Structure formats: structure tokens, C-alpha cells
Chains A and B, each alone.
Chain A
């Protein structure tokens, strides 16, 4: 070999090549790889002029530009990797770095920046322009009849245009142009801040979606083949359902009311008497204690507030505790109708004008009553005022997927947006806790409703029927524990789903008197939302009908499907991202709904046909996951679905090669759908990997000034970083002075007062000190809750602290979640499958090694962040 080399090359070059070869072989490269690499290097020097300054710069930073390719251990296909990475760097690298040499001018970016700034300035320009005043003046100048006529004519023209837009059949080119135009309008409009662009996006989405549904109804059903017809009709029903929910959802959230609290009257003697009820059944006393302590500290005249502990479990320690701290205790002899019956029984003893209801783990802040009761003065017909349920512990999705505080949690959408939107139409409904009701109204409707398992929504439906109003203030004034595990979460949702469908059957909001049209639609949407089980299952299995059964569920060519379906999904995603983006990031609804779909499908269907069947089950609260475990039972249906989809995928690949030639693109689309389904199912399964919950007491993160006093008299400045009902985490510069086991006093302020709490140091690490509270008197317990949980601003600060919704980013995250679900399943596969799993892993990492990597550049603002920082 060396002789061959010396025959063709100069000795220094030959020696260099030989030493390189030896280096490769020493580091474990195979013969082929080493030869190829040496050959490649030689060719490179020959043809690409590696000694030129440009190449030298690249070679100097070789590790930065090619981080995934080893310099000393080449693999056979490394040249391909180098090529892919180089192409990637040339095309994708952001401004700065290599690109500066290639770009001639940045006028596209500058132009885009100018357009964005102009779009941003539109709202202020519009509000400043005199056009609005002129139009208003004209309108006022016209008589009532003329105005109505104008509205009618305008409405008629709009209706005609809408009919044309929706029902006019287009050829492919026309549809393409139409869709691209609307998409461009949407992309322009979504940059403009304000409410009206949201309305515009909703209108565009409605246009496209109505058009899509019309097309589906009129031209995509195959009447010839019974199997296709049935599958097609099922899918069409599911699509109609989601269209209905989409439209009603837009209607519900189109203009969130954002109601502000009303100040109480100056004269305290006019303030009403309030009964605060805390029903409990089987929860631990430690869960209920903070709630009662916080209730004792509410800012309300003591003689006008009565606190009742309603114990359906007849436990003596609860009775003792109630006596010890001075709240009233009621244990009823019979236990029918669960929580509703409990409250109704207690109402016989309550005399107050208002009733406030709190779940046993929802800790109210001190300002709860002062913020809410003001509205009862302002609106005489107000029957119920609801505030959000905020959770200070992570729900199963956040905990198992690690999304705490990075994406809004599942309840944010409802309490942040939907109820607020309902409030505009006077349709916010009671959620069972953190609410104040008027006693006279409760008596009028016969107490809390007991006929269904979601007694709360039913109660407020009755209130609305009797002509009373409801209100919603979106400032969180209480916080509680989220469900502990995925199975508890699913059980809770099953109960809600069953209850809502029972109300739909027994007391249908669309029928019956007493409700306004808007209220009917809002309630109907709330109930329809829970019927999503079967449609979601249909969506998860629809492509299999084509791949496995060869049934044409959508009887249209692939191109038509793409032209109609894609815009429908894109516009819905754009509009939803704009309207809901702060409360739920795009595509997360898929995960939430998929996890619940199987479980709520059966109860809701049963309840739809027989509302009285089924048993009531209580949500378990306050348990502790001792270790990591996988809730396989919960995910079994989804594993089955996943296997079905996998079968469909395999058959689809077969069809690609051996099926009809003209079905090629349809099979491709079905395969894409199947892959999407599988990824969503992977994400749903990932939620079942329950992560360990380390502590019994949930910690709330905060940042408050505090002081720590050691026994010998020194007092040190510190910051309270987190707290629970039994301990706290503190950051201080003087942490090194504290010893574990030492007794210290924690000083916290609330308003003008300062409180001292006896603690013992549990651990010290770095600048952090963990303390456990020692035994405290009742007053001290109340004070501690007042300084921590029950601060009026405890939950408010965290409201708008989520990063903004970026749909593509979100899609990538959800897809990544799905992939991770599969990887975790592979991790815990039984031994039989280990070799297969190992081989799949190797194959996977081999494929992934070809993917180009982004080099770690210094922090450059890339375009997406530039857009966000307005």
C-alpha cells in the first residue's frame, strides 16, 4: 500500500496520508471507513483547495461547524454527512457567521421589518384618524328606521356573499388562488395587535371551514359502496361535530368581558352576612387545615362571617379540630347525593345572605370576599359570582411531561378565556368551588341541584332559567391541589362528562324557557365539549378505513383533499392561536383530548341514552406517588389504537409499492395522517409515565423578603423562595452560618405587621436553607397561612407569565413529546423484545446522525424573537 502511495504522491504527502490512516485505525475505524476518509481527504486537498484562507477558517473551527462528525473516528458514510451539513449551513445559518459573505444585501429583511412596523402602528393610526368619528356622526344623524334598514341591507349583502363563498364550486386552480389569498390576508392580519384582527381571523377561519364542510357534504360521499358510505358518514359526523364546536367556541370566546372587581360600600354596617361552607368527605385533615386557617383570616367583619365545616365522613378528629379553632361543624346522619346533599343539609342551619363555597383544598386569599361581594351590591339580580380555580401543584400533564410553567396547563383555557367569554353573554356557570351565591336565589331554585353528578353547572343553569344573572372575575382568589395522578384526573373528567351529558338530556339548555339564545349556545357548547370522545376516536381510526379496508371515506382526489383540508386546519390553527394562544398553546388540545377520548366515550354515550344510569365517584385528592410508575391500565386502549395505526402504516407502505398507481397520493396523505395519529397517541401514552412526587406537601414558588433569626440573637436578611403549609425554602447570603437541626425563627411580613414562626433548619446547601415549621398555636398557623397562601396577590402574579404561543414551535414540541413517549416505551419493553428494541435504537440513531445540526453560535436574535419583541 505504501509503495503504491509513494508511486503516485510526493513522500511528505504519502507519509501524512499514512499517518492519518493509522490514526483512524487506531481509534477503531473500520478498514473501509478509514480508506474512504483518507481518499476523501486527499481528493479534498486536490480539488477544493483546503489551504485557501476560507477553508482554513472553516478547518480552524471544525468542531463548531461539524459537531456531530468525529475527526478521529470516521464512519463509512461520513462524506455524505459532511455534504449534508455543509448544505444546511449554507442555506439555513442565521445572519452573521458565514452568511454575511454571501448575502449581497438584506433588503428582503428590511422590507419585512418595515411592513411589520407599519402593521403594528395600524391600530393607533385607526383610533387617531377622524374616520371613526365621521361615521359615528353620520350614523347618529340618521333616524332609527334608516339605521335599521342600513343594517338589514348590509346583512343581506353579507349573507349573499357568504353563500357564494361557501357554496361556489371551484376548480383546482381557483380553489388554490382563493386559499392562497385568504392565507396571505391571515398572515398579514395576525401581526396587528388588538381585538379586531382576531375577529378578522375568526371570519376567515369560518369562511374556509364552512366552505370545507359544504364541499364534504356535497361532493365527497361515495354512495356506491356501503362500507365507504358508512365510514364516510361516520367521519363526516365527526367533522360536523368538530365544526360545530369550533363555531360555538368562536362565538363563546369572541369578546372576553374581563370584568373588574367593584369596591365595597364605605359603610361596613351595610355589608351582608356570609356563610362560608367547606364540604369534605374523605380527605386528610392536613389538606383541609390550610383552607380553614385561611378562611379564619378573611378580611371581613368577624361577626358577619360564619365558617362551616361540613364533614360527610363523620370523623372525630375533624370535629375536634373545628372546635379547637372555632368554626362550626356539621356531620349529617345520612349521606345521599354526596356534596350537593351535604351543602343542602347545611343550608338549613345557615342564616347568612350570601353563601361562599370552597372545596376542602382550595385556600382562599384574604381579599376574596371584598373583591367579589361588591358585584352583589351593584347588580341586584346577581345570583352567582365565580372566580378561577388556580392550582399550585402540577397536574398530571405538567408533572409527567415536565411542562410546569412552560406551557399553560389544561385548566387555563377554561378559567382564563372560556368563562370570561361566557361572562359577556351572561352564561358563566358555577364550578363547585371558589364562588359566592345569593342565599335567596338558592332557596328559590330549591338548593343545589341533586339530579346530576355535576350539580354545579346544573345549579347555575336553573338560576339562569329563573332570570338571575351570573358573573365571573378572572382574578384567581383561591388556589388548590390539582389531581394527583392521571387516573384520578381521568376519573374526574369522566364524572364531569357524564354530568354534563345528563344535564343535556334532563334539562336541555336548547329547550325550555328562561334562557336567552346566547346563554343556550354557551351552555350547549360546554356540554358538547364533553361529547368529544367518539369523534376523537373516529379521527384516530379514520385513515385505517382506507388503508386496511380500502374504503373511500373521502371520495375525492388527493389534490382536492389537500386543497380543502390543509387551509381548514391552518386557518383554524391560526385563529385559535390568536384567540387562545395565551391560555393554551397550539396542538396541546390534541393531547388533552386524546388522553380522555376513550374514557369519556362510553359514559357519555350511556348517559346520552340513559341519564340515570351509572354511579358517582369522588375525585381523590392528596395522595402521594411514592415512586415512578407507569399507569399501563389507563393507556391500554391507546396502545391498541397505536398498534392498529402501526398495522395501517405497514399496509400503507405496502400499498405504496403494490397498490393502484392512481391511488399513490391518497395513500401518501393517509400515511401522513396515520403518522400524525401515532405521534399524538405517543404523547398520550407519555402522560402515563407517572413521575415521582417527592414531597407530600406541595411547594409554591414565590419571591418574598423575609428574615431568619438565630437563637443567639443575630437576624439575617433572606428571600423566601418557596413555601408549603409545613415548611419553606429560603435563600440567603449567610446560609453557611446555619446548621441542620438548629432552631430558628422565620420573620415574615404581611402589610404593616410582622410575624415570627418557630422553625428548625432541615438542610443547608449553597445559598439555600430549607426549614420545617415547628409546632405553632392556632393563631400562628393562621398567621402563617396569611403570610403565604392567603396573600391577596399570591396567585395573580403568575397569571400572564407564560411564553407566547408560537404554533410551529408548539407543533414541534407536541411531536417531540410523541416521539419521547415511544422512546420511553421502548426503554421499558419486556426482555423478549430487547434485541429488537436495541436494533431499532441503533437504526434510529444511525438515521439521526445524518441530520444536520445547528452550530452553537453566539447568541444571535433570530427572526422569530425579533418579531416578538415589539
Chain B
């Protein structure tokens, strides 16, 4: 079982959509996947057609005392997801959950091949905790000047991989920055995720992009990402 933490270098890089899409693509390839939302904004579940009003989630369940696992939802036979849950601001601060322990329990059950953690940008403590628990970290960036600056001044996890999202080949600036990163950023993934309306529509359509627009370039890019994960990030069972 591999645990991958997906994190944006800044807000709005499309991490949540990519997490949902990657979970779907991996499930299409025959893997058992669990996607966990660590962000209090609770947006991951909306990619899986969960009703907006439903308060179910791991934090809600933990607060109610029934245990974090009761917040889980099943999307299809190979894909489960764990929403954060709906909590008010005060309640949110008081939730404490030993995720290291939880993940160990999940590993021992041997049910899942992949666990994807959608790590929020605005909550640095929880983010650091999530990344430290994961086997691999995938940092999403856009090929723009802001991301380039942040790469040099932001504390970033060691041994993480970088993935360019929202790539528009028409933009000369994006091409140049990508070329620069291909030469200077060793852990950059050898492919990009393109800017495609299909990805934007996946949240609006409440489905992962591979299911909503299977013929789109985004879908193909995500399948490439899933295959790359299978080849490079799969850890052997102990």
C-alpha cells in the first residue's frame, strides 16, 4: 500500500480535482483506492457526487465519538473516499486524530493499494503532519512566475515530486518556465496536466474528470499520471 500526499504550492492549483481524478484513474486500472480529504473546506467529496448537505466525514464522526472510519463513503467497488465533514470553526480546532496510527491500521488491513491524501494549503500544521505520514509527496504547481518564486523561498518537503498543472502550450511564458524547470528541477515529472475545461467542469459536474469527459486531454494526462504512479511510487508489501 502506498500513501501519496497531494499538495499545492499555493492555493488554487487544482489539487483537489487532480486527487479525485487520480483516484478514479487508479481505480480504472484495477487498484483499490482510498481518497482522504484533509481540508476543512471539504471539497473532495463533491467530486464524487456526494450531496452537499450531508455532514458525513471523518472529523464529524471523530467529534461525534463514533470513530473516524465511520465517515467513509463508497463510490464504486474499487474507490472509497473519506470526506472531512462539516464542522464549525471552533469545533474544527478541537478535533485531534492520530493519523499515523490510523494509517498503520489501514496498512495492516491490506484492503487498499493506494491512499491519496488531499492536503490543504491554508492549514500548515495539518499539511506538515499529512506530508510526514505519507510515503510520497506530489506538489502541484502551475508554470507561472509566482510558483517559480515560491519554489525558491517556500519550505518544501524533501524528496517530493513536482507536477505541472493547468499547462497551456499557447502561453510562451509557461513554455519558457517549463523548459527552465526541466533543466533545473530534478524531481519534475516528465509530463504535464493540460489546462482543459474538462477539469474545470469536473467539480461542476460532480464527477471525476475521467468519468465525465473520457475523451478529453485531461483524462489522458491523468491516466498517464496514474501509470507513472504505478511504475514509480508503488511500494512493495512488507
The complex places the Cα of A755 from the Cα of B167 at a distance, in Å, of 12
B14 to chain A, nearest CB (A): 14
Is the CB–CB distance between B220 and A713 below 8 Å?
no
User: Is A753 interfacial (CB 8 A cutoff)?
Assistant: yes
A707:B194 contact, CB within 8 angstroms = yes
Q: Which of chain B's residues have a CB closer than 8 A to the CB of A709?
A: 170, 196, 217
B194-A715 in contact (CB<8A): yes
List residues of chain A with CB within 8 A of the CB of B213. Answer: 714
- Are B175 and A753 in contact, CB atoms less than 8 angstroms apart? yes
Report the minimum CB–CB distance from B211 to chain A (whole Å): 16
Interface residue from A734, A752, A756 paired with B190 (Cβ < 8 Å): A752
Say yes or no for A754: interface residue by CB 8 A criterion: yes
Would you call B169 and A712 a contact (CB within 8 A)? no
In the bound assembly, the distance between CA atoms of A756 and B168 in angstroms comes to 9
Q: Among A713, A732, A754, A756, which residue has its beta carbon within 8 angstroms of that of B196?
A: A713
Q: Is A745 interfacial (CB-CB < 8 Å)?
A: yes
Identify the closest chain B residue to A715 (Cβ): B217
- Asked whether A453 is an interface residue with its Cβ less than 8 Å from the other chain, the reply is no
Cα A476 to Cα B192 in complex, Å, equals 32
Instruction: Determine the distance from Cα of A709 to Cα of B169 in the docked complex, in whole angstroms.
Output: 10
| Cβ B170 vs Cβ A717 within 8 A | no
Closest to B169 in A: A756
Name the CB-closest residue of B to A746.
Answer: B169
Residues of A within 8 A of B194 (CB): 707, 715, 747
**With an 8 A cutoff between CB atoms, is B215 at the interface?**
yes
Is B147 interfacial (CB-CB < 8 Å)?
no
Q: Does B139 contact A (CB under 8 A)?
A: no
A284 CB within 8 Å of chain B: no
**With A707-B217, A752-B190, A753-B179 in contact, do A714 and B169 touch (Cβ < 8 Å)?**
no
CB neighbours (8 Å) of B216 from chain A are 714-717
Complex interface: chain B residues within 8 A of A813 (CB):
none
Let me know if B197 is at the binding interface, CB within 8 A.
Answer: yes
Given contacts A717-B215, A752-B182, contact A747 B169 (CB under 8 A): yes
**Cβ distance B210 to chain A, nearest Cβ, rounded Å:** 12
Residues of chain B with a CB closer than 8 A to A713's CB? 195-197, 200
Cα-based distance from A753 to B169 in the complex (angstroms): 9
Q: Residue A733 at the B interface, CB < 8 A?
A: yes
Which A residues lie within 8 Å of B219 (CB)? 717
Of B169, B194, B213, B219, chain A has the most CB atoms within 10 Å of the CB of B169
Which residues on the A side are within 8 Å of B220 (C-beta)?
717
Total interface residues on A, using CB and 8 Å?
Answer: 18
Q: Which residues of B contact A756 (CB under 8 A)?
A: 169-170
Contact with A along B187-203 (1 / 0, CB 8 A): 00010101111101000
Q: Is the CB of A715 within 8 A of B198?
A: yes
A755 CB contacts on chain B under 8 angstroms? 169
B218 within 8 A of A: yes
- Distance in Å from the Cβ of B94 to the closest Cβ of chain A? 42
Within 8 A of B (CB), among A746-802: 747, 752-756
Within 8 A of B (CB), among A663-718: 707, 709, 712-717
Beyond A747-B169, A752-B190, A756-B169, whether A715 also contacts B179 by CB under 8 A is no
User: In chain B, what residue has the closest Cβ to A755?
Assistant: B169
Q: Which residues of A lie under 8 Å from residue B190 when comparing CB positions?
A: 752
Closest B residue, CB atoms, query A707: B217
* Bound-complex Cα distance A747 to B216 (A): 13
* Least distance between B92 CB and chain A CB atoms (Å): 35
Interface centre among B175, B196, B217 (most CB of A within 10 A): B217
Interface residues of B in 141-192 (CB under 8 A from A): 167, 169-170, 175, 179, 182, 190, 192
CA distance A319 to B195 in the complex (A): 41
Distance of A745 Cα from B200 Cα, bound (Å): 19
From residue A388, how far is it (CB to closest CB) to chain B in Å?
A: 33
Task: Enumerate chain A residues within 8 angstroms of B182, measured Cβ to Cβ.
Answer: 752
Q: Are B197 and A712 in contact (CB-based, < 8 A)? A: yes
Q: How far is the CA of A756 from the CA of B216 in the complex (A)?
A: 17
Return chain A residues, CB-CB under 8 Å to B169: 745, 747, 754-756
Contact across chains for B215 and A716 when beta carbons are under 8 A apart = yes
Q: How far is the CA of A714 from the CA of B216 in the complex (A)?
A: 7
Query: Closest CB of chain A to B190's CB: distance in Å?
Result: 7
B179 CB to nearest A CB, Å: 7
Chain A residues contacting B192 (CB-CB under 8 Å) are: 754
Q: Within 8 Å CB of A712, what residues of B?
A: 197
- A441-476 contacts to B (CB < 8 Å): none
CA distance A639 to B195 in the complex (A): 65
Q: Say yes or no: A733 contacts B215, CB within 8 Å.
A: yes
Q: Shortest distance in angstroms between A733's beta carbon and chain B's nearest beta carbon?
A: 5
Complex: how many Å from CA A709 to CA B200? 15
CB pair B196–A715 under 8 Å, yes or no, is yes
Contact A745 B217 (CB under 8 A): no
- Minimum CB–CB distance from B185 to chain A (whole Å) comes to 13
B170 touches A715 (CB 8 A): no
Task: Looking at the assembled complex, report how far the CB atom of A341 sits from the nearest CB atom of chain B, in whole angstroms.
Answer: 44
CA distance A756 to B170 in the complex (A): 5
Question: Nearest Cβ distance between residue A596 and chain B, in whole angstroms?
Answer: 50
B215 near A734 with CB under 8 A, answer: yes
Q: Who on chain B is nearest to A705 by CB?
A: B220
Residues on B with beta carbons closer than 8 Å to the beta carbon of A753 = 175, 179
Most B-side CB within 10 Å, residue of A714, A747, A755:
A714
Complexed CA–CA distance, A363 and B216 (Å): 34
Contact pattern, A 47-89, Cβ under 8 Å of B = 1, otherwise 0 = 0000000000000000000000000000000000000000000
Closest B residue by C-beta to A732: B215
Q: How far is the CA of A714 from the CA of B218 in the complex (A)?
A: 9
CA separation between A776 and B6, bound complex, in Å?
39
Give a binary string over A27-62; 1 marks a CB under 8 Å from any B CB, 0 the rest: 000000000000000000000000000000000000
Q: Which residues of B contact A754 (CB under 8 A)?
A: 167, 169, 175, 192
A556 to B120, CA, bound (A): 99
Query: Chain A's nearest CB lies how many Å from the CB of B54?
Result: 31
Shortest Cβ gap from B199 to chain A (Å): 9
1/0 per residue, CB under 8 A from B, across A266-310: the answer is: 000000000000000000000000000000000000000000000
Q: How many angstroms between the C-alpha atoms of A733 and B220 in the bound complex?
A: 13
Q: Which residues of A contact B170 (CB under 8 A)?
A: 709, 745, 756
Could you say which residues of chain B place their CB within 8 Å of the CB of A707? Answer: 194, 217
Closest CB-CB distance, B38 to chain A, in whole Å?
A: 30
B170's closest neighbor in chain A, by CB? A756
| Known contacts A752-B190, A756-B170; is-contact A716 B179 (Cβ 8 Å) | no
- The reply to whether B179 and A714 contact each other, CB–CB distance below 8 Å, is no
Q: Known: A745-B170, A747-B169. Is A714-B175 also a contact (CB below 8 A)?
A: no
Q: List 14 A-B contacts (CB under 8 A).
A: A713-B196, A714-B197, A715-B194, A716-B215, A716-B217, A717-B216, A717-B219, A733-B215, A745-B169, A745-B170, A747-B169, A752-B190, A754-B169, A755-B169
6 additional A-B residue pairs with CB within 8 Å, beyond A713-B195, A715-B218: A709-B196, A715-B194, A715-B195, A734-B215, A752-B190, A753-B175
Query: Sorted from nearest, which 6 A-B pairs have the closest CB atoms?
Result: A713-B197, A715-B217, A756-B169, A715-B196, A756-B170, A714-B197
B binding-site residues for A, Cβ under 8 Å: 167, 169-170, 175, 179, 182, 190, 192, 194-198, 200, 213, 215-220
Contacts from A to B (Cβ < 8 Å): 707, 709, 712-717, 732-734, 745, 747, 752-756
